[in-house]
Amino acid sequence: MRAAPAAAALLTRGRVTVRAMGASPQGTEVARDKAALRRASRAALQAADDANLARQSECGCWGGEE
């Protein structure tokens, strides 16, 4: 769980490494960057879901009860 907020921060701060097109003739580095960005995206959305669940639980509206 600790990894998810860290990955989300990476994504939102744009610190996921993006290399220029053509840096790798085989495209392996671009593919690696894409994979890293997909992982960061999943982690960011997971973190957002976790935060929403926590808020719902705290405000007592979880499960449809207000």
Partner 1 sequence: MGAYLAAPRLREVDPGAAVRAALERRAPTMFVPVVGGAPASMRLLHLDAEGGLVETKPFGIREPAPCYAGSSTPRRDALDAGLDLLLLPGAAFDAAGGRLGRGGGYYDAFVAAAAAAAAARGVAPPLLVGLAFAAQVCPSVPVEAHDARLDVLVTAGGAAGVSERGRRAVRG
Instruction: Quickly list DSSP for 7-37.
Output: HHHHHHTT-S--PPTTSSTT-HHHHHHHHHH
CB 5 within 8 A of CB 46: no
> Does residue 30 touch partner 1 according to CB under 8 A?
yes
27 touches partner 1 (CB under 8 A) = yes
**Interface with partner 1 (CB under 8 A), residue from 8, 53, 62, 65:** 8
- With CB under 8 A as the contact rule, the residue among 3, 6, 49, 52 that binds partner 1 is 49
Give the residue with the Cβ less far from partner 1, 17 or 57. Answer: 17
Rule CB under 8 A: say whether 55 interacts with partner 1: no
Closest residue by Cα to residue 48 from 21, 15, 8: 8
